[in-house]
Amino acid sequence: MKKIIIAIDGHSSTGKSTFAKAIAAALGYTYLDSGALYRAVTLYALDHGWTDPEGRPNAPAIIDHLKDIRLSFGKDPATGLNRTFMNGKDVEELIRSMEVSRYVSPVSEIPLVRDFVDMQLREWGKKKGIVMDGRDIGTAVFPQAELKIFMTAQAEIRAERRLRELQSKGMDATFEEVLANVRQRDFTDSHRETHPLVKAPDALLLDNGNMTVEEQLDWFKKIMEEKWDIRLK
């Protein structure tokens, strides 16, 4: 069976990663989380004090030290899921914090940071057979992807999902804080100068506000059957 690239874009907290992991598992493809790489760069900046209290990153300092950041994915032997590594250290939990969430959009706006991440993503995608999610995968990183999906849902629904995720990890946050963060990220992502968040003209729209993961997977299986004549279990 011919392998393809599946690009999944969309707003924050739409469950892109959960959906991407599910379809990657169904196809036997490799899952790559572009957002994790931006979060790792953001964590590196925070660890070195290259941000200010107003949420502004020190772009020159970050750019000057991109050469010192080595990013990779490794599988958790217990779950089989990807873990994000930065300079050899597992940072999967650290990059999901509210502090990183606050700064990740401004950091990802920096053009050379986007180039740095995109270069690594394109290298991983050369062999195809991958599912990748992010904000500009189908428009900038892999515009030639054979299948593009754009995910969205109401901000309040996404904030509730994000809050449950944080609480499940023992992190403190209020619904109001998370909702404000979701709305701010929507604005920043869609208004940045370099590769803003937009739906690619040939992307399929998936509004999953009232859908379970199982229902989303059923939707995907139908697409694969109709478009690619590929039947999944």
Residue 231 domain-assigned (yes or no): no
Query: Highest-confidence range of 36-40, 74-78, 122-126, by mean pLDDT?
Result: 36-40
* pLDDT at site 161: 93
Residue 64 domain-assigned (yes or no): yes
54 confidence band (pLDDT: 50, 70, 90): confident
Beta bridge partners of 119: none
Q: pLDDT of 161-200, one tens digit each?
A: 999 989 998 988 999 999 999 999 999 899 988 889 999 9
Residue 228 domain-assigned (yes or no): no
5 confidence band (pLDDT: 50, 70, 90): very high
Structural domain harbouring 112? 5-223
Residue 233 domain-assigned (yes or no): no
Q: What is the DSSP secondary structure assignment for residue 74, as one 8-state letter?
A: E
Residue 54 domain-assigned (yes or no): yes
Q: What's the CA angle centered on 100, arms 95 and 105, to 5 degrees?
A: 115
CATH, residue 24: 3.40.50.300
User: Domains in the chain: how many in total?
Assistant: 1
Q: Are 132 and 7 in contact (CB under 8 A)?
A: yes
Q: Is the pLDDT of residue 61 over 90?
A: yes
**What's the CA gap between 38 and 100, in Å, rounded?**
10
Q: Is the pLDDT of residue 103 over 80?
A: yes
Q: Are 180 and 112 in contact (CB under 8 A)?
A: no
Q: Is the pLDDT of residue 231 over 90?
A: no
Rounded to the nearest integer, the mean pLDDT of the chain is 92
* pLDDT at site 81: 74
Q: Is the pLDDT of residue 1 over 70?
A: no
Residue 189 domain-assigned (yes or no): yes
How buried is residue 67: exposed, middle or buried, by Cβ count under 10 Å (0-12/13-18/19+)? exposed
* pLDDT at site 178: 95
